[in-house]
Structure 1
Amino acid sequence: MGESFQKLNLTNAYLFAAAMQDEEICRNVLEIALNKRISRVKAHVEQVLFLDSEFKSVRFDVYASDEEEVSYDVEMQNDDTKNLPKRCRYYQAELDVTSLRPGEDYQQLKPGYIIFICSFDPFGKGRCQYVFEEYCKEADIPLGDETQKIFFNTNGTDTENVTPELLHLFEYLKQSTEEVAVRHQDEKILKIHERVKYLKRDRKLEAGYMTMEEYIHQEAERRAKLMAETMAKPMAESMAESMAKSMAESMAESMAASRVAQNILALLEDLGTLPDQTKERIAKEQNEDVLSAWLKLAARADSIEEFQSKM
């Protein structure tokens, strides 16, 4: 199971999404992230449970729009799934489809921002943010489609290229405590922290988090069991086949040895009475080479004593 609800930081997708449903918190986060004034936003969260190979990924998309009809899709991302660029493309398509009514001109498409707040460096350049827009490669002309894809790296090192408030937000996201909240006395960070403290006292939210964690835990166990059974079946079949083959070969060898031993005893009966100890030794022998040699010896021997002395 994961961390207790009270100890979660805002990098946790569940807590982040819960906080961003508060439209004032959503507005403050967007203002800090985009470094622009936003008058008012409407926000809602869409939850998608997506279990990856390690059974731990839950995606919460925060959709928001402001009074200027700008659309925002914000997501906290803790696992480097290596597919963020293509996901940006998909999310932008979703925003466009929902913002344009049937019969409306393409000019009515709202400006859109796809924002990933990552606890890792998605492009490996050490930057705190990566902002992508559509440009002409040859003439450096902006396409003018009014879309941006922004990736924030909360562990970036190019701190001189971003606002101090964004760095404070990164600090608070990673360690959502009273100490960090009051450290820089940023009004927006303090407001966010007050909301986070309130959310952590909400029993319904805590219950939702526990239910989600339990589901992921159970699903992980179920998938692990299924995987083990899937892998074990061909292994078991292979082992059974191998064991059956080995047993068949062993039985065949044993039967062949028994027939040779019987032939040896039959030859020796013509020479006289064979001691029980010698009979038992011949009957128990399984080595084909030894039995073959004894068979030849029995065929050439003139007496039991000669056979025993040479066997």
Structure 2
Amino acid sequence: MSYTIKPWQDLTIQDDYMFKLVMRRKPICKRMLEKILHVPIRDIRYSDDEKTMKFQYEGKGIRLDVYVADDKGTVYDIEMQVRKPSDDGLYLRTRYYQSMIDMGLLEEGADYDELNPSYIIFICPFEPFDKGRHIYTFRNVCLEDTSLELRDGATKIFLSSVGTADDVTPDVKRFLEYVNGILSNDAFVQEIDQEIKRVKKLEEERVRYMTYAMKMQEERKEGIKEGREAMQHEMQHDLALKMLKDHKPIHEIVRYTELTENQIRKIAAENSNVSFGEESGRNV
């Protein structure tokens, strides 16, 4: 699958790279959080420019678009989620992000009973739940008594730019329309648009973007390569297991699977109901 680098001048607020750049302006990020959550925020501080979390050697790492904390210690992860994953992938992603955020907080020295309140906010230019809303807010509640909330401090918010309900303030609606490419006279939208125009004139940012895009392109290619290698290894494993169940001699399994004898013996040791053929001289 080919991956084309989008031209710098064509980037919009929907593109992760531009979204992150714009949200690096503290007044814009702070104001957006205040508008979405309807709470005053005195100040915010940034973590890494693009916080990467990976806690297991072979675990799936994540890059957080915008990760900030306010003056009260509440942490916010804001994501521009352009594509809707298949099945329940979008919703399960918030669960994974939450676990990584909590692990990061624990590694920074927090006790589990002192975990910071957190908000995961997904901005979606699509309908995430087919209910026509602009905003969907989730907290954990008791199914038997929905007035009883599990006060674990975790909140997930999905903002949909294609909603039709009258459920957000006019300025939030104008922002979501801007995500769809509609420029209005709203002061906040104008500020964001002017910031994007300003950033696009910066040669150093253009160079950084091209470097970043090429790196992502290489990572994508490497990921495809690793995926193919993993699939090939799985097929070799399955073929070896099938041949072991048919009691084929080990030299024949090596020839057809291209696995080493040690790899095949390991597969046999992990499956007590299989054995080599007579030519191996013994059963495993």
**Fold equivalence (TM over 0.5):** yes
Residue 170 of structure 2 corresponds to: 164
- The verdict on how the C-alpha distance between 1:64 and 1:185 changes in structure 2, with shifts beyond 3 A counting, is same
In 1, Cα distance between equivalents of 2:72 and 2:64: 24
Are 1:10 and 2:16 an aligned pair?
Answer: no
In 1, Cα distance between equivalents of 2:45 and 2:177: 26
Contact 1:14/1:60, CA 8 A, preserved across alignment: no
- The verdict on how the C-alpha distance between 1:18 and 1:34 changes in structure 2, with shifts beyond 3 A counting, is same
Residue 85 of structure 1 corresponds to: 91
- Structure 2: which 5+ runs fail to align? 53-61, 233-284
- The verdict on how the C-alpha distance between 1:225 and 1:32 changes in structure 2, with shifts beyond 3 A counting, is same
Are 1:206 and 2:206 an aligned pair?
Answer: yes
Residue 35 of structure 1 corresponds to: 38
1:104-150: CA deviation from partner (whole Å, max 9, x where unpaired): 460x2211101111111122222212111100000111111121101
Contact 1:26/1:43, CA 8 A, preserved across alignment: no
In 1, Cα distance between equivalents of 2:170 and 2:141: 29
- Structure 1: which 5+ runs fail to align? 49-57, 232-311
In 2, Cα distance between equivalents of 1:206 and 1:216: 15
Contact 1:112/1:147, CA 8 A, preserved across alignment: yes
1:128-179: CA deviation from partner (whole Å, max 9, x where unpaired): 1211110000011111112110111111111x11111111111222327xxx
Residue 268 of structure 2 corresponds to: none
In 2, Cα distance between equivalents of 1:8 and 1:193: 12
State the Cα distance separating 1:65 from its structure 2 match: 0.5
In 2, Cα distance between equivalents of 1:170 and 1:6: 21
Question: What's the % identity of the aligned pairs?
Answer: 32
1:36 aligned partner, one-letter code: V
Residue 68 of structure 1 corresponds to: 72
In 1, Cα distance between equivalents of 2:117 and 2:224: 44
In 1, Cα distance between equivalents of 2:109 and 2:222: 44
Instruction: Compute the TM-score of the two structures, normalised by the length of structure 2.
Output: 0.66
Instruction: Quote the RMSD (CA, aligned, Å).
Output: 3.1
Aligned partner of 2:117 among 102, 111, 118? 111
Instruction: Compute the TM-score of the two structures, normalised by the length of structure 1.
Output: 0.60
In 1, Cα distance between equivalents of 2:91 and 2:205: 31
In 1, Cα distance between equivalents of 2:78 and 2:222: 31
In 2, Cα distance between equivalents of 1:103 and 1:202: 39
Contact 1:39/1:67, CA 8 A, preserved across alignment: yes
2:18 aligned partner, one-letter code: L
- How many aligned residue pairs are there? 215
State the Cα distance separating 1:98 from its structure 2 match: 3.0
1:204 aligned partner, one-letter code: E
1:240-281: CA deviation from partner (whole Å, max 9, x where unpaired): xxxxxxxxxxxxxxxxxxxxxxxxxxxxxxxxxxxxxxxxxx
In 1, Cα distance between equivalents of 2:112 and 2:11: 45
* CA radius of gyration, larger in: 1
